[in-house]
Amino acid sequence: MLSLYTMWRSSAAYRVRIALHVKGLSYTSIPKSFAAAEHKAADYIAVNPQGLIPSLVDDGHVIPQSLAIIEYLDERHPLPHLLPSKALQRAEVRSMALSIACDIHPLNNLRVLNYLRERLGHDQNTVDMWYRHWIAEGFSGFEALCQRYSGDGKHCYGEEITLADVCLVPQVANARRLKCDLSQYPALTAIAQALEAQPAFIAAAPDRQADAPQEK
């Protein structure tokens, strides 16, 4: 049985949940509350010394970092593939995924936004401007890549779910939550909308998680 240390609104954990559901893999969720700083508690630091979410545990072995986890799952459970069979195509898909996971997400990660507010003294409007700037910087290029590589307007690359799709949907969800203007990115938003209607993406959505706040 796989175990996933997760948090309902973590976009990195969201990526891994999508991959798990795409592959039809059963897993146990172990939620960690950011508000209660459970990801920094000693018991979790013993699991993942970085104190970051997510971490996957498979047969006692801990794998941190969302893309490393997803590629591990793709190698251990090959079907359906999240990376194409040909080297060049794999590189193209990885480049799309990394443009989100390495260029957009780290700049807009919660710990960065908290540092801007709490340590550098920026007000919420300034922090929101920071967030929206880096979304615009990243999505403008990603939009062009979707237009270049999508085969059907419903997937980032070709006509099947890939690692690029797994990374896109959580980032679009975050951008919507922060009220970013996405009207300039018709290709990527259409792709995200199509993917969000797929069962694996529905099951992985933040509001479907056990630790998500319940509406009263």
Q: Is residue 67 part of a domain?
A: yes
Statement: the pTM of the whole predicted model exceeds 0.75: yes
pLDDT recorded at residue 216: 46
185 versus 109: the higher-pLDDT residue is 185
Q: Which residues contact 28 (CB under 8 A, 6 or more apart)?
A: 1, 2, 3, 4
- Whether 138 shows a pLDDT value over 70: the answer reads yes
φ/ψ of 2, rounded to 5, equals -85, 145
Q: What is the pLDDT of residues 161-198, one digit of tens each?
A: 999 999 999 999 999 999 999 999 999 999 999 999 99
Instruction: Choose one of 80, 101, 136: the last residue of a domain.
Output: 80
Which residue carries 């209607």 as its tokens? 197
User: Dihedral sign, CA of 72, 15, 37, 102?
Assistant: positive
Residues 100 and 158 in one domain: yes
Residues 71 and 95 in one domain: no
| Range of the structural domain that residue 192 is part of | 87-201
- Whether 214 shows a pLDDT value over 90: the answer reads no
Q: What is the CATH number of the domain that holds 148?
A: 1.20.1050.10
Instruction: Choose one of 21, 52, 80: the last residue of a domain.
Output: 80
Residues 149 and 188 in one domain: yes
